[in-house]
Amino acid sequence: MITQNDVGRVVGREVYGSDGSKIGTVGQIWEDVSGQPAWCSVQMGMFGKRETLVPLHEADLEGDRLLIPFDKSRVKDAPMVDAAEDEPLSIDEALRLYHHYDMVVEDPEPSDPDDAMTRSEERLRVGTERERVGRARLRKYVVTEHQQVTVPVSHEEVVVEREPITEETAAAAYAGPDISEAEHEVTLHAERPVVEKEAVPVERVRMSKETVTEQETVGDKVRKERIEAEVPEDEGPRDVT
């Protein structure tokens, strides 16, 4: 059974008949006197130009489909009515549709006029729906960069020292021949930088999700009925609501 809460989900759905065949697409919804959805138009044909009405009292939503207890030929042969979305069906149009779909209904009788007037207005019903907005992923890739490190290195240099002959060094100085040739070698050493590379783990990176709630303002036009009264002693009509 289709209720007032289902109206927003019914419009635009594909309509399937009792024989399992696709009939068309839901266009407009008409309500009964109690405010419950009673009829819907079904747009048929290649471009949806043909539109007929079907009752909703035994219809049901199944996934993205509106299932009705009538086959395609019954809907296609339904009498054409000329009613706007915001206007109720006339008594004659409703009776012809009830007769076509073999629905039992009592002939409406005119009720006694009431001295009160009902004022109605539209209200916004706001909700939320979940949709996919994007995907995020982690990807690891390699980049090469030049890195410089300063390291201290040392080397040996020759230092020539001259010292006078003293009593302590005289014995060593006169130990050799008076005049001769000789040479003495000193091995010099120096440090040089050596570079080696190693892979070292530095950190772990992971992704997670968090829900952030923020306020978003939505709006739409709503219609309201106004009631004015014409009283003999007033100069003109005046609003009473």
Residues whose CB falls within 8 Å of the CB of residue 119, separated by 6 or more in sequence, listed in order:
225, 226, 227, 241
Instruction: Give the integer Cα–Cα distance in Å for 138 and 206.
Output: 8
160 SS3 class:
coil
The band of 59, judged by pLDDT with boundaries at 50, 70 and 90, is: very high
CB 10 within 8 A of CB 60: no
Q: What is the mean pLDDT of the chain?
A: 86
pTM of the predicted structure, to 2 decimals: 0.43
Average pLDDT on 153-163 reads: 93
- Does residue 47 or residue 33 have the better pLDDT? 33
The band of 114, judged by pLDDT with boundaries at 50, 70 and 90, is: low
Residues whose CB falls within 8 Å of the CB of residue 151, separated by 6 or more in sequence, listed in order:
193
CB 158 within 8 A of CB 188: yes
Residues whose CB falls within 8 Å of the CB of residue 88, separated by 6 or more in sequence, listed in order:
30, 31
**What is the amino acid identity at position 92?**
D
Of all residues in the chain, what percent carry a pLDDT higher than 70?
A: 93
The band of 48, judged by pLDDT with boundaries at 50, 70 and 90, is: low
Summarize pLDDT for 201-235 with one digit per residue, the tens: 999 999 999 999 999 999 998 889 888 888 877 77
User: Closest by alpha carbon to 22, among 1, 44, 48, 47?
Assistant: 44
User: C-alpha distances in angstroms, 51 versus 18, 32, 71, 109, 230?
Assistant: 19, 20, 16, 29, 42
DSSP string, 85-107: TTSPPPHHHHHHHHHHTT---PP
Instruction: Give the integer Cα–Cα distance in Å for 238 and 231.
Output: 8
